[in-house]
Each structure stands twice: as C-alpha cells, then as structure tokens.
Structure 1
C-alpha cells in the first residue's frame, strides 16, 4: 500500500468550505472537570458525532472572523484530502497581553496520533512567537484526548483564566503553553 504524503500550508479565506471535510467524531471514554484548581476525571462512554450544520456554520464563522481580523490558519492535507487545521487568533490575551489563543484545532479521526496535530500546533506557536507572544492560550475541549494532547506538547493548566473565553466555553480546560525563545 502506498503511503500518502502529508503536506502543510497556510490557509486562506477561500479554504473555509473545506472545514466540512474534517471528521471530528471520536469515542469519548473520559472527560475532565476543573474543581478547586485541579483536574478531576469523569468516566464517559459515548460517541461524539461529526459536525451538524449549526456547529459547522459556527466553526466556519469563527475561522472567517479570525482570518479577517489578522489571525492565521494552518492546514494539513493527505494528497488532496483536507485532514486537519488550527487557527491562531488575532487578539492578545493575558494581563501582560503576551498570549495568543489557539482558537480552533481539529485533526480528522483517521489521521490522529500521527504527529499532525503536533506539527500544526508547532507552526501556530512559531507564528505566535513572530508576533511577539510568549505563550499560547488554549481553551481545550474537556475530553481526555484533547487535554492529553496539549499536555504532551508542554501545555499546563492556566493559572490565569481568560474570563471572556471561560464565559464562552465554561466546561473547557484552560491551558497555557510557553513558547521558548
């Protein structure tokens, strides 16, 4: 069987309709909650479905908004197939305004655990450093797979929670990743 090469590139507004090609579905066996400043594990056993029309539209709107405001998107492709992307938001966050947020991050189900998310996150981190940020701020979905991924990439639980992002997604696990020099 031939191996398909994974390629990466900066995405544009014209790529917005490709977001529907991502298979975000997954089996969720564990989620986390923050209680008294620590992660608590909660067992689960359900399937998270792919996009519905409303969620896809919301994701597309966020993508367009961030790119129009100066954010950047980075995508992964297996041949012509779109298989993953991440969006670095435009707005600086944190008391010292030295953080940029990873606003969206998805890798299609059949392509996870192959280094694609790591590559996308690293590219977003490099861009954030070029823009003068010292940290990535990550409002991670509460699933074990997402939180474990970000922790494996050097992220830690944020000591300073961004209230605006918390209000949008109160169940998310808020994390910070230092961007070395």
Structure 2
C-alpha cells in the first residue's frame, strides 16, 4: 500500500505542468459605454475568477484540433459579469518544443474559409492568465483568456487560431453561438 502511495505521489508531483506568471494585458481601445462597466478596473476579480476556473473540471470535450503531435483543446467557456473566459490547453506529445507566436480570437463567416478575411472581426483579450510562450516537449500548457462578453450573429462563428513561430503546426478551432450560450457561471 505504501509503494502505491509513493508511486502516485511521485507521479502527481512530477506531472504537474509548469505555469508562468499571470499577465495583465491592456488594450489601447477604450471600453467605456453607458451600458458596460469598465472591465479593466476589476483585475483582482478577474484573477480570482481565473483561479477558480483552473480548479474546475473540464466541461467541453468536442472543441479540439490536432496537427502532428500537437493538440489544442477548449476545456471550458465560463462567464462572470460582462466577461467570457476561455480555458485553453496546448498538449505537446512530440520531443520538439512548440513556440507559440500568437493566439488570436476572431469572428468570421461560417463558410469555413481559411485565414482571417477582411470581413472578420478580431477580438482583443482583456486579461490573460498563465500565458506561456513555449510548450516544452512532452508537456502541456493551460491558459485562460478573458474577453468581453459577446454573442454571434447567424452565419458567423468564433475562430481561435494558435500560430507557431517559425513552424507549420498551426492549430484552429471553430465554435458556434451554441457553445457561447452554454457558458458556465463562476
């Protein structure tokens, strides 16, 4: 029994992913309107919400993409006030490190066209929690992106694209309005 306990304890301690420090991203765009409060003033609240989300169990299992031995998953969509939180996981099952160039959110036409077209609208994150620039080989990285709350018009979809720096293992996930409407409350 003690050997099993030691084995499980060692596995848990050695398999924990490495996290970087939370970053506060401020956009140059002002978000003040009579209807929406200023989200940027609630950074402690956003950080607490992100810490709760990291402890939660995954609630979405069907949004994923794979390119080679890289896997990209949306583990959950959460909401708190005027903010949507996206729990994203990059899983690197190869020996080569994956250098993340950028992660972009955009609203595009639902025709499945590749790339960001002139009709697409890029969304800027309000807050990023535990962002990583590199996913080492045989490791995974979990990040939370906070965006202003939005819904999609008919015929539109949310596209989340991860670009690899100096590489071709780009990853893309397309989500519909149905996913956003089923966001969990924090």
TM-score interval (norm. to shorter):
under 0.3
TM-score (norm 2): 0.27
TM-score (norm 1): 0.27
Structure (1 or 2) with the larger CA radius of gyration: 2
